[in-house]
Structure 1
Amino acid sequence: MEAISINLGNMPIFDGHNDALTRLWLSDDPDPVHAFIHQRLAGHMDLKRCQQAGFVGGMFAIFLPPYAYVKQHHPNKLFDPRATDFSQQQIEQICLEQLNLAQQLAQRSHDIQICTSVEEIQRCRAQQKLAMVLHMEGAESLQHNPDLLDVFYQAGLRSIGPLWNRPSRFGHGLNAKFPHSPDTGAGLTVEGKAFLQRCADRKIVVDVSHMNERAFWDSVDILQQPIVATHSNAHALCPQARNLTDAQLKAIRDSQGMVGINFDVAFLRADGQRNADTPIDVILDHLDYMMDRLGEEYIGFGSDFDGALISTELEDVTGISKLIERMQQRHYSSELIEKLCWRNWLDVLNRIWL
């Protein structure tokens, strides 16, 4: 990519993970697309705040929320209040509805575009558009209908986390109380391994952020492409099962992969507590630790905006400017800040997509 002189006061941000599409799907607003484009929303992101923050793009997740959460907080979204879980048909419908929301955002705003190449992301950055890279967090919608992968791919999907916390046909999932090692059960199933290969054949990013340790190493054995964790932190600093051990970080580095730092305080704090009264410097502590093990080229942001409890000091997407100020206070060079804020993400996407 071309060398560009960057004003740190107007640093572009490309982020590895957010749940804005799921928040829009859960919204009670009769027109959530209009609200995202034209209003200030209750969550961490909307178009105006992204523009204010210099947030030029990121991975926008299509995600199936837990049934119990939807039943408690958004019962109007349930298909059958008497059921105890979503049917496979409903899972597929929910994910297709979130895909449709992404398509509507791009159709109804000249300032938003679904991107499938780094060149398109770069053009969006130059034109001050919001670049959406479609990601699927947990691939349950694809587990019984493999042809759906091509439907989503043709619509722009370029990144998939095959597993979430729940078990599926693809693997055991990852769910454990704090503190815990990432070794929480079995790895990928035969179907899961075949699914990873199908994704790799299409040059889709495979996200290991919600994989347990055995599934992670299964993925390392299968994939001949960079290993990516879109929103994970250092297990040595916060022993959540979903955070990455030093051995995992080394494997990601060796693959020329990528880790996006998760801003959720429960995955940052040494005590694992969901406490928003957490200084944002802890994000930099994880950055420093992982740069020591990954190098400067393989790490960036993976905020989990609209799907996380973040520091009240950070507040929302506009708070990234405070992170940049803290980086400067820790004497990060302008070149390093540029790498962490956007360039590293675009480099790893190039390594996978080309």
Structure 2
Amino acid sequence: MKFSFFDGHNDTLLNLYNNHKNDAESFFNTLSGGHIDYERAVNSGMEGGFFAIFPPPYTSLSLPDPEKFLTPEGYDVPLPEAVDPEACRKVTDEMIDLLYQIETNSNHRFKVVKDSNELEKTVQNGQMAAVLHFEGAEVISPDLSNLEYYYEKGLRSLGLVWSRPNAFAQGVPYRYPSTGDIGPGLSEQGIALVKKSNQFGIMLDTSHLNEKGFWDVVAHSNAPIVATHSNAYALSPISRNLTDEQLKAIGDSNGVAGVTYSVNMLRKDGKMIQETPIGEVVSHIRYIVQLIGAEHVALGSDFDGTTLPNEINDVTDVPKLIEALEKDGFTNDEIERICFRNWHRVLADTWK
């Protein structure tokens, strides 16, 4: 049986912006060096996903190599400094324009969706559905005065942080072995942002957020708790992954954890080794399903934003992962939930 899937997180806009001259038409060609373009995605069964805007105030993003920050037990990459919000706004606005130019150039094949009815109709019509997501809230003014502006521009999913601090919260550094219990919780502005996002119906993403910040979101949000691209700490004890207690809070809220294919977040040793079996992704999915149920697990690849296992070289290999789920004994109903129905549900429960 062939399954479609909805991807919980990709950085394809960043790839286009940095490596393909911010050219929307490139998305409809085969992108050398990238993980997603339109033809490969559609042929693989990708019905849509969260298209992230990550706004580094510089021309390219180079993640520090953990091997350069080794400790006796693993590694400890320093937390980057906060960045200039104005520089982030410029990049963000340009990438929003890029997303809508993709829609314009698509000949009705690609649509930015803003409510759950539009999402369902877009998928039923065979169009690719894109959710506009911010990976980090640097562009939002601390007084929230421009949140409505970005909502009107289509913002429907907001990650409070990337792995750096901002006015609202602090992200976790890449540290192994370590929980995410590093640094303070949400600021007063961060709590206000959670509540205002609830009012607008903007989904909040806790991936990259430290543990105290996560529990502040749980305390102050009235929407499902979501982590778009985070794995199980019990299987890979890296700071970016979620403890059992955090995963249970996601389940209790009727939320979703999107399992990422990032190799260092899959492996027990936390290393950036591409010779990581596809079975490690299945293991994280199985673990979370057994802990909180198949209705609370989804796919959150981090395509175009991370180092992948060789067996998931790009979006065309997602069917291999789905086949591995079938071989592991997941039912068709469970696979449909994991592949797309859980994302549809949590967005319908969040969006106004």
Q: Which residue of structure 2 aligns with residue 179 of structure 1? A: 177
2:202 aligned with 1:167: no
Inter-partner Cα distance in structure 2 for 1:232 and 1:137: 13
What's the offset of the Cα at 1:353? 1.4
Corresponding residue number in structure 2 for 1:13: 5
Which of 26, 30, 35 aligns to 1:35? It is 26
Q: 1:135 aligns to what?
A: 133
Alignment of 1:159-238 (within 5 A): 159-238=157-236
- 1:139 CA displacement: 0.5
What residue is the counterpart of 2:43 in the other structure? Answer: 52
User: Could you report, residue by residue, the CA deviation over 1:57-95 in whole angstroms, capped at 9, with x for unpaired residues?
Assistant: 01111112375954899xxxxxxxxxx996332111011
Q: Which residue of 2 aligns with 1:25?
A: 17
Choose from 75, 91, 100 the match for 1:94. Answer: 91
Which string of whole-angstrom CA distances, capped at 9 and with x for unpartnered residues, describes residues 246-302 of structure 1? 000111111001100011011100001111111111000001100011111011100
- Within a 5 Å distance, the mapping from 1:1-354 to structure 2 comes to 8-9=1-2, 11-27=3-19, 29-30=20-21, 32-65=23-56, 67=58, 70=61, 87-109=84-106, 110-144=108-142, 146-354=144-352
Q: Which runs of 5+ in 1 are unaligned?
A: 1-7, 74-83
TM-score (norm 1): 0.90
**Structure 2: how far apart are the matches of 1:176 and 1:50?**
29
**AA in 1 matched with 2:29:** H
Give the drift of 1:33: 0.8
CA distance in 1, matches of 2:63, 2:192: 36
Residue in structure 2 matched with residue 76 of structure 1 by the alignment: none
Cα distance per residue 1:148-187 (max 9 Å; x no partner) = 2212111111000111111111122211421111100101
Residue 99 of structure 2 aligns to a residue whose secondary structure is: helix
- From the superposition, tell whether residues 157 and 277 of structure 1 become closer, same or farther in structure 2 (CA, over 3 Å): same
Q: How many residues align?
A: 335
Q: CA contact under 8 A between 1:57 and 1:121: conserved in structure 2?
A: no
TM-score by length of 2: 0.91
SS of match in other structure, 2:28:
helix
How many angstroms does 1:310 deviate by?
0.6
Shift of residue 40 of structure 1? 3.5
For 1:25, give the aligned amino acid: Y
Match of 2:73 in 1: none
Give, in angstroms, the shift of residue 30 of structure 1: 4.0
What SS does the aligned partner of 1:221 have? helix
* CA distance 1:292–1:321, change in 2 (3 Å): same
For 1:313, what is the secondary structure of its paired residue? helix
Aligned equivalents of 1:119, 1:175: Cα separation in 2: 38
Matched-pair contact (CA < 8 Å) for 2:142–2:168: no
Q: Does structure 2 retain, via aligned residues, the 8 Å contact 1:67–1:85?
A: no
After superposition, give the CA deviation of every residue in 1:5-49 in whole Å (9 maximum; x if it has no partner). Answer: xxx22x11101111111111112x346211112333421000000
Structure 1 residues 246, 118: closer, same or farther in 2, change over 3 A? Answer: same
Whole-Å separation in 2 of the counterparts to 1:336 and 1:70: 36
SS in 2 for 1:142: coil
Q: C-alpha separation between the residues in 1 aligned to 2:339 and 2:351?
A: 20
2-side partners of 1:320 and 1:200: how far apart?
32
2:143·2:189 contact (CA, 8 Å) conserved in 1?
no
Q: What letter matches 1:39 in structure 2?
A: T
For residues 134 and 276 of structure 1, what CA distance do their matches in structure 2 show? 29
How far apart are the structure 2 equivalents of 1:35 and 1:69? 18
CA contact (8 A) 1:40 1:48 kept: no
Cα displacement string for residues 180-239 of structure 1 (whole angstroms, at most 9, x for unaligned residues): 111001010111111111111111101011111100011000001110000000000001
**Structure 2: which 5+ residue stretches go unaligned?**
65-80
- Shift in alpha-carbon separation, 1:177–1:72, aligned structure 2, 3 A: closer
Q: How far, CA to CA, are the matches of 1:85 and 1:69 in structure 2?
A: 16
Q: Structure 2 vs 1, CA of residues 332 and 85 (structure 1 numbering), >3 Å: closer, same or farther?
A: closer
Q: Do the aligned residues in 1 keep the contact of 2:225 with 2:250 (CA within 8 Å)?
A: yes
The answer (yes or no) to whether the contact 2:176–2:237 under 8 Å persists in 1 is yes
Give the Cα separation in 2 of the matches to 1:128 and 1:175: 40
Quick one: which amino acid aligns to residue 115 of structure 1?
Answer: V
Residue 144 (structure 1) shift: 4.4
Instruction: Calculate percent identity across the aligned residue pairs.
Output: 38
For 1:346 and 1:327, how far apart are their aligned partners in 2? 20
Counterpart amino acid of residue 213 in structure 1: E
Please state whether the residue corresponding to 1:141 is helix, strand or coil: coil
Report the Cα distance in structure 1 between the residues aligned to 2:59 and 2:110, rounded to whole angstroms.
32
